[in-house]
Structure 1
Amino acid sequence: MEQRHLGRTGLRVSRLGLGTLTWGRNTGERDAADQLKAFWDAGGTLVDTADVYADGGAEYLLGRLIEDLVPRSDLVIATKAGSVPDPDRRFDASRGHLLSALDASLQRLGTDYVDLWQVHAFDPGTPLEETLQALDIAVSSGRARYVGVSNFCGWQLSKAATWQLAAPGRTPLASTQMEYSLLQRGVEREVLPAAVDLGVGLLPSSPLGRGVLTGKYRHGTPPESRGGSEDMAAFVAPYLDETARLIVDALAIAADGLAVSPLHVALAWVRDRPGVAAPILGARNAQQLIASLSVEALTLPDEICLALDDVSAPLHRYPDHDWSTL
């Protein structure tokens, strides 16, 4: 699998990443092992997790598999901290919480360091410079090699990245992780331009529109799908509207013309967008993952990209619209 630099850093990652959102919850150890082995065999290196996935279960499971299945040195392990697992989905990006969470992540993962440590979300209750100081401490202490953020809007990312570049000794942000797909192009308004300008690599989550871009929901909701499960149905539901249907129909037409699946077209589109380092793939089993990994050989023709751009274009008005003629 092709390797890319993560942002303006020396860290190289596979241009597709493996996500572990469901590990330790819907995905058991055997399925997780099959996924990791298939990903590694395909040349994949970037594995993304978080301390709140399955309340730490995903990290613990990944740590067991690293020990028994795949050499630690062959993987780029990324995890996150800052989310507080309670019904209100609170965020705590204070220095104390973040560094304690990192120590707990390392223990569950069974490793001395993570390759990429990310702040899971912006915390308005903590001064940003305190949050960023925790990232500097993590790197200077050897517990993290590179750092990034997740779910930061445009101004939050710009402020954080600029702060880190403003003084010697601070660790530049390597990445930002945001949802990005043909069904969710909101990052193109401010986040992606800021990331490109500041040398921050984008790691798209849900690159298949929470599974909708595979086309599996065109004629109903399969009972075995995430949309048909009790705990994930609400996650998929926002992308089952009429706007999404029109985009998926266009995607299916493009896929038919290229003799590939809608999944491959959707994934190739987001993988090769400017500023993107590596979309993060979430799969139910190894068979699903292998189908996604086979996109490696596909590059979309320019005319297909332009057609998909047009049919999925988000509505950006002021201040993005050109008002120079008014």
Structure 2
Amino acid sequence: MEYRHLGASGFKVPVLSFGTGTFGGKGEFFQAWGETDVSEARKLVDICLDAGVTMFDTADIYSRGSSESILGEALKGRRDKVIVSTKATFRFDDNDPNAVGSSRFHLIRAVDAALERLQTDYIDVFQLHGFDAKTPVEETLSTLDDLVRAGKIRYTGVSNFSGWHLQKSLDVADRYGYARYVANQTYYSLIGRDYEWELMPLGIDQGVGAIVWSPLGWGRLTGKIRRGAPLPATSRLHKTADMGPPVPDEYLYRVVDALDAIAGETGKTVAQIALNWLLQRPTVATVLIGARNEEQLRQNLGAAGWNLTPEQVRTLDEASKVTPAYPYWHQQGFAERNPFPV
């Protein structure tokens, strides 16, 4: 398994990591993702470790803490062999006005609770799950810095931030000498390339590595969706399509057609090709793969250890190209001064 530096830090992570959103299955949304229990989680962890996948990502709101708890049980006796990543910011308790956001109060309590559920003394990578516009950036960063100095967190990152959210945070960290964000857990896929417009150039300039979530476009690039065919009965999109990023049908089919053609050339699956394309993109440190069962996991693991040819990458780039929002479409017209990140 290839390892890459996480942003500008000295810390290395595997290019494929395992996302545990399928652990627990509590609530309608996460039940549609999966209902992996402790026994099955241990088997999935075993497969990951055998393949060199040592990083496991979770969050406090995944099945109301059950994902963290199940991951903690599954990692018993091998904590020193793995990298644990988790997140907090979104509302955890509907009855507590302080159980949300990135305030000092909530972050300290959220980290302590995550440590207990994960049965560990430290979190390798802790990320804010979203931006909190109601808490001063200085309060958030000073709190995270205290948690790093206390040894409860080793590296920090963000998720679902806009460019200015991230840059403002980095500027404040530099001003006061706080721990800098080195990770951006971001939505990025062949049918969701908005990350390239601003966050990718920012990541290169500021040394922030991408941890890619939903790399198969909210389950649309698994190889099960085809032009003119009904959605498979087992697809979670029946329940979750409206909760994720919208994708025009014709655009999706155009990308899938290109993936199918390359699948015929390579003998790889559609999902493996979509994941491998991401592994060749600038700033990408690791791609989170998920699985509801062992078969899905083994198939996704086949995305690493080989590379698409430059011509195949160009084919996928062209098939998935869209006109970005302003001012990005304007900047693309002056590639001499604003080239695509490399």
Query: Fold match, TM over 0.5?
Result: yes
Question: What is the Cα deviation at residue 114 of structure 1?
Answer: 0.5
User: Contact (CA 8 Å) 1:51, 1:79: kept in 2 or not?
Assistant: yes
Using a 3 Å threshold, how does the CA distance of structure 1 residues 235 and 255 change in structure 2: closer, same or farther?
Answer: farther
Give the aligned residue type for 1:16: L
Segments of structure 1 that go 5 or more residues without pairing to the other structure are: none
Q: Aligned partners of 1:316, 1:141: CA distance in 2, in Å?
A: 43
Using a 3 Å threshold, how does the CA distance of structure 1 residues 86 and 162 change in structure 2: closer, same or farther?
Answer: same
* Partner residue, 1:193: 201
User: Contact (CA 8 Å) 1:34, 1:285: kept in 2 or not?
Assistant: no
**Identical residues among aligned pairs (%):** 40
Superposed, which structure 2 residues align to 1:244-255 within 5 Å?
244-255=252-263
* Partner residue, 1:24: 24
RMSD, matched Cα: 1.9
Superposed, which structure 2 residues align to 1:289-308 within 5 Å?
289-308=297-316
User: Contact (CA 8 Å) 1:179, 1:205: kept in 2 or not?
Assistant: yes
Q: Aligned partners of 1:191, 1:91: CA distance in 2, in Å?
A: 25
User: Contact (CA 8 Å) 2:100, 2:106: kept in 1 or not?
Assistant: no
Q: Aligned partners of 1:142, 1:19: CA distance in 2, in Å?
A: 24
1:227 and 2:237 equivalent? yes
Question: What is the Cα deviation at residue 315 of structure 1?
Answer: 1.1
* Partner residue, 1:318: 326
User: Contact (CA 8 Å) 1:91, 1:123: kept in 2 or not?
Assistant: no
Q: Aligned partners of 1:91, 1:187: CA distance in 2, in Å?
A: 26
User: Contact (CA 8 Å) 1:212, 1:236: kept in 2 or not?
Assistant: no
Superposed, which structure 2 residues align to 1:130-279 within 5 Å?
130-168=139-177, 170-218=178-226, 219-228=229-238, 230=239, 232-235=240-243, 238-239=246-247, 241-279=249-287
SS of 1:212's equivalent in the other structure is: coil
User: Contact (CA 8 Å) 2:218, 2:245: kept in 1 or not?
Assistant: no
Moved more, 21-30 or 41-50: 21-30
SS of 2:41's equivalent in the other structure is: helix
Q: Aligned partners of 1:4, 1:98: CA distance in 2, in Å?
A: 28
Give the aligned residue type for 1:75: V
* Partner residue, 1:11: 11
* Partner residue, 2:31: none
User: Contact (CA 8 Å) 1:24, 1:58: kept in 2 or not?
Assistant: yes
Question: What is the Cα deviation at residue 237 of structure 1?
Answer: 7.9
1:77 and 2:87 equivalent? no
* Partner residue, 2:32: none
Q: Aligned partners of 2:322, 2:103: CA distance in 1, in Å?
A: 35
Deviations 1:15-52 (A, max 9, x none): 11100112111222232222111111100111100011
Question: What is the Cα deviation at residue 294 of structure 1?
Answer: 1.5
Question: What is the Cα deviation at residue 317 of structure 1?
Answer: 5.1
SS of 1:277's equivalent in the other structure is: strand
Report how many aligned residue pairs link the two structures: 318
Moved more, 174-183 or 246-255: 246-255
TM-score, with normalisation over the residues of structure 2? 0.88
Deviations 1:92-130 (A, max 9, x none): 111110110000000000000000011110011111111
* Partner residue, 1:104: 113
Question: What is the Cα deviation at residue 224 of structure 1?
Answer: 2.0
SS of 2:221's equivalent in the other structure is: helix
Give the aligned residue type for 1:284: R
User: Contact (CA 8 Å) 1:32, 1:285: kept in 2 or not?
Assistant: no
Q: Aligned partners of 1:255, 1:213: CA distance in 2, in Å?
A: 12
